[in-house]
Amino acid sequence: MSRATQSELRLAGRMARLGTETAFEVLVRARALEAKGRDIIHLEIGEPDFDTPRNVIEAGVDALHKGWTHYGPSAGLPALREAIAEDAGRRRGVKIDASEVVVVPGGKPIIFFTMLAFIEEGDEVIYPDPGFPIYESMVHFLGARAVPIKLRESMDFALDVKELASLITDRTKLIIINSPHNPTGGVLQERDIRQIAAAIGERDIMVLSDEIYSRLVFEGRHFSIMAVEGFRDRTIMLDGFSKTYAMTGWRMGYGIMRPDLATHMARLMTNSNSCTASFTQVAGVEAVRGDQSSVDKMCQEFIRRRDLVVAALNKIPGFSCRMPHGAFYVFPNITKTGWTSKKLADALLEEASVACLAGTAFGSFGEGYLRFSVANSLENLQKALKRVAEWAKKNVA
Ligand code: PLP
C-alpha cells in the first residue's frame, strides 16, 4: 500500500541522545570531495593502513572452505576463547580462564554490552575527555550522568588521580580508562594504573579498561588494571583484533571478565548478534597463535611515522605537538593558530585537502587540538604535512 505522505517516525526518546563517531562523518565529506575530483589525504579514520597478515587471511579462507559458515556459541568458539585467555593473560601477567573470555564483533560491542549490563538511569559514569566518543554517547543513550575527567597535555595526557578521586560519588557505577589512549596517544604507566586503583579502593565500582591499542605501546610496557590485586572481579578488559592485526573490517574483539558476568554478556550476544562470524573466529585463532612478526613490523612503522609527523608539526606556525607513546594518532595543540578545532579541521579539509578530526570530536576538553592518524604511508604523511604547512603560512598570523 503506498501512502501520499510519509508517516512520522515515532522514535524512542533515547535515540535523540545517541551520539556518533565524527570520523565516519568526516570520511563521508572527504569522499564527496574526492567524487568531485579532489585529491584528499585521509588522516581522519582510525584504522591501520596495512593489510591483514597473509597467514590470517589464508586461515579465514580455509575456514570458509571447511564449512565454518554456521552459528557458533554466543560467547565464542572454545578454541578462540582458550587462545585469547592464554595470550591476553601472558601479556598482562595474569592467569585467565577461557570461561572469562567473550568474543564479540569488534571492540565496540564490549562498550555497548558493559553499559547495557550495568548502567541504569541516574547512574554516573566517569570517562576520559578527550576520549573515544562512544563512551559518552552510550552514557547519554542510557539516561545516565556523563562525568568526564579531563586529560591534560601538561600531564602528558595521563589522568589526574586526585581529580578522579574527587569525581567518584555513591552513584558512580563505572569508570572507563583507555591506554594507550585515543585520541592523544597517551599511555598510563604501571604507577598511574596503581594510583587509579588506589583511588577507587574497595568501592563496588566496575572498571571498563579499554586496551584495544595494547600492542601498540612505543615506550615502556603495557600494564592492565586486571593485574592489580582485588581488581579482577571489577574489571572488564576490552581488546580485539582490529588494531593489532589490521582487521578492522573483520569485526572481532573480546572482553575479559569474571565468568558469571561473561554468562550475562553471552546472553546479550544471543539477543543481538547470536555469535561472532565463525570463520573469522577460526582466523582469529591463527592471528593469536601464529607468527607475530607483522604486529612488530606495524609497530615499528608507526614509530617511524610518529617521529616524522611530530617533528614536522612542531615546525608549523601555531602548532605544537607532544610525542605520543602509543596507538597511531598525534594530537597537536593548535590554540596558537587562533582557530578553533572544528573550524581548523574544516578549513584543512576544504582548503588544504587534508582530512583530520577536531579535538572536540572527542569531547569538549578536546578544544584546542586536532587529531591526525598516522595510519597512512610516509609519502602521504609528508605530502599532507606540506599542505598543512603551506596552508598555515597563508592563514596563521
Ligand atoms: N576503543 C577505542 C579506544 C577505539 O579507538 C576503537 C576504535 O577506533 C574501539 C574501541 C573499537 O574498535 P573496533 O573497531 O574493534 O570496534
Q: How do the domains of the chain map onto residue ranges?
A: 13-51+294-395, 67-289
Q: Which ligand 1 atom sits nearest the alpha carbon of residue 327?
A: 5
Assess whether pLDDT exceeds 90 at residue 279: yes
Residue to mutate, 27, 104, 108, 151, ligand 1, most ligand atoms under 8 Å from C-beta: 108
pLDDT at 2: 55
Residue to mutate, 52, 212, 215, 237, ligand 1, most ligand atoms under 8 Å from C-beta: 212
CA 8 to ligand 1 centroid distance, Å: 34
| Confidence tier at 111 by pLDDT (50, 70, 90) | very high
Ligand 1 pocket, residues with Cβ under 6 angstroms: 46, 106-108, 132, 178, 182, 210, 212, 240, 242, 248, 253
Per-residue pLDDT tens over the stretch 68-92: 999 999 999 999 999 999 999 999 9
pLDDT at 188: 96
Assess whether pLDDT exceeds 70 at residue 130: yes
CB under 8 Å to 254, separation ≥6 — which residues? 76, 84, 88, 101, 102, 103, 104, 110, 238, 239, 240
CA 15 to ligand 1 centroid distance, Å: 22
* CB of 103 closer than 8 Å to CB of 251: no
Residue 202 CB neighbour total at 10 angstroms:
7
pLDDT at 285: 98
pLDDT at 4: 61
- Could you name the CATH architecture of 67-289? 3-Layer(aba) Sandwich (3.40)
* CB of 354 closer than 8 Å to CB of 41: yes
CA 29 to ligand 1 centroid distance, Å: 21
Cα separations (Å) of 305 from 21, 191, 242, 330, 397? 25, 28, 20, 10, 28
pLDDT at 46: 84
pLDDT at 48: 85
Assess whether pLDDT exceeds 80 at residue 397: no
Question: Considering the entire predicted model, what is its pTM?
Answer: 0.96
pLDDT at 120: 96
Assess whether pLDDT exceeds 60 at residue 1: no
Instruction: Give the separation between CA 385 and CA 312, rounded to whole angstroms.
Output: 7
pLDDT at 386: 97
Cα torsion 23, 27, 33, 34: sign = positive
> Look-up: residue for cell 596507538?
327
Radius of gyration of the chain (CA): 21
Per-residue pLDDT tens over the stretch 216-257: 999 889 999 999 999 999 999 999 999 999 999 999 999 999
Q: Is 20 exposed, middle or buried (0-12, 13-18, 19+ CB in 10 A)?
A: exposed
- Which grid coordinates are listed for 119? 548502567
- Which grid coordinates are listed for 187? 599511555
| Confidence tier at 107 by pLDDT (50, 70, 90) | very high
Q: Average pLDDT in the 33-47 region? A: 93
CA 107 to ligand 1 centroid distance, Å: 5
pLDDT at 23: 85
**What is the chain's mean pLDDT, rounded?**
96
Residue to mutate, 182, 329, 371, ligand 1, most ligand atoms under 8 Å from C-beta: 182
CA 196 to ligand 1 centroid distance, Å: 22
Assess whether pLDDT exceeds 90 at residue 259: yes
Q: Average pLDDT in the 8-21 region? A: 93
Instruction: Give the separation between CA 131 and CA 21, rounded to whole angstroms.
Output: 11
CA 375 to ligand 1 centroid distance, Å: 14
The residue contributing the CA closest to ligand 1 atom 7 is: 46
> Look-up: residue for cell 572481532?
252
Assess whether pLDDT exceeds 90 at residue 47: no
pLDDT at 3: 61
Identical fold, 13-51+294-395 and 67-289: no
pLDDT at 288: 98
Domain covering 13-51+294-395 in this structure, CATH number = 3.90.1150.10
Q: Average pLDDT in the 362-378 region? A: 96
Q: Average pLDDT in the 28-53 region? A: 93
pLDDT at 268: 98
Q: Average pLDDT in the 154-181 region? A: 96
CB under 8 Å to 197, separation ≥6 — which residues? 225, 228, 230, 231
Residue to mutate, 20, 27, 132, 214, ligand 1, most ligand atoms under 8 Å from C-beta: 132
